[in-house]
Structure formats: structure tokens, C-alpha cells
Structure 1
Amino acid sequence: MPHSIAELPRYLTRKEFADHLRVNPRTVDRMIREGEVRSVRIRRSVRIPREELDRDAGTKPNA
């Protein structure tokens, strides 16, 4: 796994994104569905821009 975000490909697969966040790919599916993470569809596959790792991807402040 690359050491910095800049070394990652411009678009990540769901699995690559999930691995980086240390979550299940189904969690990434939910995050995409709920609009917490932007994604693009390329034919039949889903890709996530690496810039989404810079955002607070789906994190919410503790209440």
C-alpha cells in the first residue's frame, strides 16, 4: 500500500478505498448511497476519487 495519498491512483476501487479506511466494502457502498462519499461510474464499475480520502469521509462529530 502506498505511503501517502499522492501515491495512490487518481480513482480508487471500492475495495482500495475500504482498505485505506479500514472498513468493509459494504460500508463504502452505504457511504456512496447516502451521499457521504462522491463516486463515478465507469461502465459497470464504481470508482472513488482519491480526494475523497482527504475529506472527513462520513465522519460525524460525537454528540
Structure 2
Amino acid sequence: MVAWLASDEAQHVNGQVFHVTEGLVNLLNQPEPVKTIQKDGKWTVEEIARVFPATIGLELYNPAPSQVRE
């Protein structure tokens, strides 16, 4: 799905939220913000990595964590 969204074939798709699990693709309703972080100017990756866990990322969990095989 990510590769298709990055292709020219998906040039008409913008501002949508999809949920993809194996063979299932869902187009979700337009969500409303529940948490926000803001600053003047653009965010760097390092800034988001530092701020996200204690703000927007707080209380988020992965419902399908990776399966580590031993």
C-alpha cells in the first residue's frame, strides 16, 4: 500500500487515512485530532523522536507487536 501510494497511480489520493492488515485495506473516516504538538517552523526527525514519546506517543501501544522467532 505504501509503495502504491508513493506511485504516480495514486497521485489523486491525498489526505486520507488507511488501515492495512495483510489482505485487508480500509479507508477510514476523517479523524479528529485528539493530541497535538506544535512549534514554530518545521519539525526535524530528531525533535519528533525526542518529544513524541512523552506527548502524542504517551499511552500508545502496538496492538500487533512483532513476532520474534527464536
- Report which structure shows greater RCO (CA 8 Å, sep ≥6): 1
Task: Judging by fraction of residues, say which structure has more strand.
Answer: 1
Task: Judging by fraction of residues, say which structure has more helix.
Answer: 1
Q: Per the shorter chain, which TM-score range?
A: under 0.3
TM-score under structure 1 normalisation? 0.25
Could you say which structure has the larger radius of gyration?
A: 2
TM-score under structure 2 normalisation? 0.23
